[in-house]
Amino acid sequence: MEGTEVPVSNYLKVAYRLADLAKQHWWILALLFIICFSYSIRAANLDPNKLLSFDPVFEYRYTKYVADYGELPKWDELTYTPGREITINSAPPIMFYLSALIYWILKNFGFTLLSTASLLSALYGAAIVIPAFFLGRELSNKYGGLISAALIGSAPQILIRTFGGSYDTDQLVVFFILLTLFSVIYAMKRKTIFSYCFAAASFVGFMLMWTTFFYVIFIAAIAIPVFFIISLISGVFGKSIQGSVKETTMLIVSILVIIASILIFGIISKVDIIGAFVSLLGWAQKPEALIVNISIAELQNVNLMEIGNWLVAFGRVVTGDGIIDITIFILMLIFIAGSFVMSIKRKEFVNSAFLITLVSVGIYTTTRGARFTEFSSIFILITVAAGTGYLIDYFWSRQKGSENAGRTLMAVLCSGLVLFLAATTMFIGLQLSIGLGPDHSGNWDAAWKFLKEKTPENALVGTWWDPGHMITGLGERRVIADGAHCGNESCLYGINQRISDLGKVFLETDENKAIDILKKYKGTSDTAYWIASDDLIQKFQWLQYFGTGCDGRTGDPKCEMYMYVPQTSAKYTADGKMGMRIYDLPEPSGTPNKEIIVLHGSVPLVLYREGNNAVFFSHVIYRNDTGLTDFSIKDEELKNLIPVVSPITSQLGINIVNQTIPRAIWAEDNYGYLVMIPDILEDSMFTRMFFLDGFGLEKFKLVFRNSQVKIYEVKF
């Protein structure tokens, strides 16, 4: 009725009701805050027109195909020329279809596919918080769930793989690892039809996302005997072994039901289950079967004798202050121990078995390479969070109804330490997010544009495998090899042969032999192009190793490599012109004042300094207004040259020795770095292509260049 006033008491009742709901379900608000925070630190540097290079470009290319045509291609003609078949194992489809579906909705609001992919990379990254909460809660309680969400949503080692712009599989792989772990534990404990269906559905989703989805099955399989041992030792099922055997058998049945569901779906959807299983075993035991993995820094073995590697495995929650970092590390160890002790004390043996297994698998996974510390961090942080949940509940339950000040103090102290750990991790994640985002390189962008606009559509492009995804995704041209590893059974020649051949081309001194190697990959391409780029200077040991078997890591002089020397400082003349640049030699140098000095004048003069003495390099390769120039110094010219530079060198306390180093040194266009070229590589294809801009080559014509990238047209 108009004019009727609602009694104040009704408003109070609503307020009390809302307050009561907030009190009962406060954790929902806390979880929403963590989700929003996790998204914000991932979206800090979103660029709607840019993605991170390498794998994200590959994922984007396949997503674009789905968005354009409604399905994945049957054959990818760009990668591993003449291409390879696309199967559900080589390209698990869920990410491509999910992203395309979201794009079809968002395009009505002005989103492009690129801006959608950029946004989704941050959203997918924030989404890992949700299964992290449920897994942490299942392994302890809601406190453990919230801390699990906070740690996994903010830990630097996970954040650097799941930030906005990095449109890669990591986000959804982590999501499904956490989800399937939760679902399998949930099913083992409930043993209901719903729990089995939920677990099966989770693994089907994982199967469609990641080839090595068996990873979580292995974890569950390892947890079962751990459960048996714990239950047997505790005697909770009686002193006889029968009780433990019975409970363990029920867990085995649970995991077999889930595996059976996976197998049935695999047969229906034509997923190569055996191949996925073998793939996981290969990575766990011998990843170097694909030789390219040897050259990937993140796949090198991790030395667990170094505390720094432990900090990385624990999520890289590092402030830079040694005392604080060690304190955090010890605190995590205490919480891990607490998760073991409290779960066993409460006779929650399924939890105990998985907590012990997660830490064990996490440590082993760390040893397989720094790349996998993302997964190690997940497992270890989940265990840390479960420990916090158990300990908070333990101390506060003891405090209830007690007037013992000591118990109250312990409860407050425990809660404070937990909040300190969570807050510190979130703050470190916030600080790290400032520097995360898609990479930008105008020189490389210009190279992709050249390939896309200035080369024939069916052109073949060769180079080392690293930029392969950008060649196919941004340059839209065929490539000999890229980061989507391809075995002998999947494509012509296979990755090992291709990587070896690419290395040989760069090492060849006879360009005709280099042409012969490239001919077998030409296929139906009318033309071919070859890229020599600056990133290969410091990677050259791998080109050399795979191309010739010469291992520069051994110190063998026959395997000498380029020496990259970055500029560290500069000095100017009184009129503001560049007078001198100083370059530090790579460690270990062992000698004070061991450096390279460039004296600028009509020509650049380069000195090698060791202590108070210095000598000239015999010749310098540099670029000036007229082009590339090779300036050489003959021994007989030194007596006239030394007095010219002595006014400068004497001020530095340097004595010029009357001799030269018979070694070529090359200067980058803007003198940002120098490269010493060893004699054995002076005539290599890479030296002539990158450092000499194709000088002396007849069948490789330079058609594009900048300070980072040189592109040659190949004449067969």
> 229: closest CA among 246, 248, 242?
248
Which residues make beta-bridge pairs with 619? 632, 664
Q: Give the domain-ending residue among 394, 410, 433.
A: 433
CB-based contacts of 149, cutoff 8 Å, min separation 6: 31, 34, 35, 38, 129, 130, 132, 133, 136
146 near 132, Cβ under 8 Å? no
Q: Give the domain-ending residue among 433, 459, 475.
A: 433
Structural domain contains residue 401: yes
The number of distinct structural domains making up the chain is 3
Rg (the chain; Cα; Å): 31
> What pLDDT shows up at residue 472?
97
> 426: closest CA among 146, 23, 136?
146
> How remote is the C-alpha of 544 from its chain's centroid?
24
Does 326 lie in the same domain as 216? yes
What gap in Å lies between CA 522 and CA 532, rounded to an integer? 18
pTM of the model: 0.91
Structural domain contains residue 696: no
Does 185 lie in the same domain as 73? yes
Summarize pLDDT for 6-56 with one digit per residue, the tens.
566 666 667 667 667 667 778 899 999 999 999 999 999 999 999 999 999
> What pLDDT shows up at residue 1?
46
Q: Give the domain-ending residue among 433, 450, 475.
A: 433
What gap in Å lies between CA 197 and CA 10, rounded to an integer? 45
> 61: closest CA among 27, 89, 100, 26?
100
What gap in Å lies between CA 29 and CA 141, rounded to an integer? 16
Does 519 lie in the same domain as 639? no
Structural domain contains residue 684: no
Does 625 lie in the same domain as 487? no
Summarize pLDDT for 105-127 with one digit per residue, the tens.
999 999 999 999 999 999 999 99
3-state secondary structure of 398: helix
Q: What are phi and psi of 445, to 5 degrees?
A: -60, -40
> What pLDDT shows up at residue 571?
87
> 481: closest CA among 438, 448, 518, 512?
518
| Lookup: tokens for 205 | 């989703």
What gap in Å lies between CA 644 and CA 656, rounded to an integer? 11
> What pLDDT shows up at residue 78?
95
Structural domain contains residue 689: no
Gap between the terminal Cα atoms of the chain: 92
Does 663 lie in the same domain as 527? no
Residue 596 belongs to domain spanning: 563-677
Does 421 lie in the same domain as 448? no
3-state secondary structure of 627: strand
Strand stretches in 512-599, DSSP E: 528-533, 563-572, 578-584, 594-599
What gap in Å lies between CA 119 and CA 534, rounded to an integer? 31
- Strand order of the β-sheet with 700-705 is 478-479, 460-462, 528-533, 709-714, 700-705
Structural domain contains residue 30: yes
Which residues make beta-bridge pairs with 700? 714
What gap in Å lies between CA 710 and CA 449, rounded to an integer? 13
| Lookup: tokens for 93 | 């489809």
> What pLDDT shows up at residue 304?
77
Does 288 lie in the same domain as 230? yes
Structural domain contains residue 700: no
CB-based contacts of 327, cutoff 8 Å, min separation 6: none
What crossing angle do the helices spanning 170-190 and 113-127 adopt, rounded to 10°?
A: 40
The DSSP code sequence of 17-71 is HHHHHHHHSHHHHHHHHHHHHHHHHHSTT--TT---SSHHHHHHHHHHHHHHHSS
Does 537 lie in the same domain as 391? no
Does 320 lie in the same domain as 221? yes
What gap in Å lies between CA 521 and CA 475, rounded to an integer? 18
Structural domain contains residue 3: no
CATH number at residue 538: 3.40.50.12610
Residue type for 312, please?
V
For residue 290, the tally of other CB atoms under 10 A from its CB is 19
Residues of the chain under the 50 pLDDT cut? 1, 589-590
Does 588 lie in the same domain as 533? no
> What pLDDT shows up at residue 593?
66
85 near 490, Cβ under 8 Å? yes
What gap in Å lies between CA 452 and CA 472, rounded to an integer? 10
Does 498 lie in the same domain as 446? yes
Does 362 lie in the same domain as 305? yes
The DSSP code sequence of 454-465 is HS-TT-EEES-S
Structural domain contains residue 332: yes
Cα distances from 63 to residues 95, 97, 439, in angstroms, run 8, 7, 20
